[in-house]
Structure 1
Amino acid sequence: MKILLSCLLVLTLQSCMSQENKKNSNKDTFKISKTNTQWKQELSAKAYYVLREGGTERAFSSPLNDTEDAGTYVCAACKTPLFNSEHKFDSGTGWPSFDREIPGNVAFSKEGNGFTGIEEHCATCGGHLGHVFNDGPKETTGKRHCINGVALNFIPNP
């Protein structure tokens, strides 16, 4: 009986280790990678919550929601250019919305329950930005990139 229990324990541990290795090998690698401590030192508490923990800011709380100036929206964590102002539109949702991203600078992942759209991340540092939905302007891309303002910094055109 002890041998049987020992074998069962070994098999269970091997299975757990194998699943953990698979989970770790599936992690995305990004050009900019920092520890949680480093990110906490560099980001505000709200920015850390959104960018590193996948949180969502309160609707209509970002001043960037109303910004109409020409320029570029960059990742608040690593300054990667993510969205151009000419692709911003008022979706009425309370978050900055764009009909397209700067190609190659935004990564997408299908996570969650399907009600939250496809998750968007900065392709350089992996910071959570928001979600993309298929209910944007039909005359352009039909996409609505619903982005947390705290995940962005705005750089006006000179």
Structure 2
Amino acid sequence: MKLNFLMVFAVTAVVLAQLALAWDGEDSKSKAREDLKKTLTPMQYHVTQESGTERPFNNEHWDNKAEGIYVDVVSGEPLFSSLDKYDSGTGWPSFSQPIVKENLVEKSDRQFGITRTEVRSKHGNSHLGHVFNDGPTSTGLRYCMNSASLRFVPKAKLEAEGYGEYAKLFERKKGTGRVD
């Protein structure tokens, strides 16, 4: 009888400890979401955290032609280079390839009755947009991104903002902005 009581007590203690950890994890996630709501614009939050989409031709970067890189608005991880940006005619910033492929996570997206490939940032887990197989012949890919999920860092500010290692990309010719 005493052994059964001890077993039940031990199991109960383990279960309660697990529940406490899970509860703390949810509190941390809620706090992180609240912090993001304070630092991001409503559109940035909607796109990155709720997998939203901004309007085409009415967003910050779709027609940006300046040299620089695009980083995740949440985590700052480097994603795309202006060297690989092109006008796809869609009204969203489009790129033929990422600068660091490992900073992207691709997931199947079956919303709206079609299957697409969603692109998220690895570290920030931000929804960025989608990748399609109708891009330029160099890669065949079109990374169609939401401006709201990206922050542009001009070439002249790469060093000052901690992205100096990417300055060398702009010594190469257009279309070769990937770091392997």
Structure 1 length as normaliser, TM-score?
A: 0.75
Structure-2 change in CA distance of 1:147 and 1:39 (3 Å): same
Q: Secondary structure at the match of 2:102?
A: coil
Map of 1:53-92 to 2, 5 A cutoff? 53-92=50-89
CA shift for structure 1 position 117: 2.0
Amino acid at match of 1:131: H
SS of 2:37's equivalent? helix
Using the aligned pairs only, state the percent identity.
42
User: Deviations 1:120-151 (Å, cap 9, x if unpaired)?
Assistant: 0011110000000000012x100000000111
Gapped regions of structure 2 (runs ≥ 5):
1-21, 23-29, 157-180
CA distance in structure 2 between the aligned counterparts of 1:135 and 1:117, rounded to whole angstroms: 12
Secondary structure, counterpart of 1:64 in structure 2: coil
Within 5 Å, give how 1:134-153 maps onto structure 2: 134-138=133-137, 140-153=138-151
The one-character-per-residue Cα deviations of 1:99-119 (angstroms, maximum 9, x if unpaired) are 001221111111224735200
Structure 1 counterpart of 2:26: none
Q: How far apart in 1 are the matches of 2:84 and 2:31?
A: 30
The 5 A counterparts of 1:13-52 are 35-52=32-49
Greater per-residue helix proportion? 2
Counting matched residue pairs gives 126
Which deviates more, 90-99 or 114-123? 114-123
The yes-or-no answer on 1:124 pairing with 2:132 is: no
CA contact (8 A) 1:116 1:131 kept: no
Equivalent position of 1:107 in the other structure: 105
Question: What whole-Å deviation, never above 9, does each CA across 1:4-37 have from its counterpart, x for those lacking one?
Answer: xxxxxxxxxxxxxxxxxxxx9xxxxxxxx96211
Amino acid at match of 1:134: N
Structure 1 residue 61: deviation in Å? 1.2
Question: Which runs of structure 1 show a deviation greater than 4 angstroms over 4 or more consecutive aligned residues?
Answer: none
Deviation at 1:62, TM superposition (A): 1.2
How has the CA–CA distance of structure 1 residues 86 and 44 changed in structure 2, closer, same or farther, with 3 Å as cutoff? same
Larger Rg, first or second structure (1 or 2): 2
Q: Could you tell me the TM-score, scaled by structure 2's length?
A: 0.66
Distance 2:31 2:144 in 1: 26
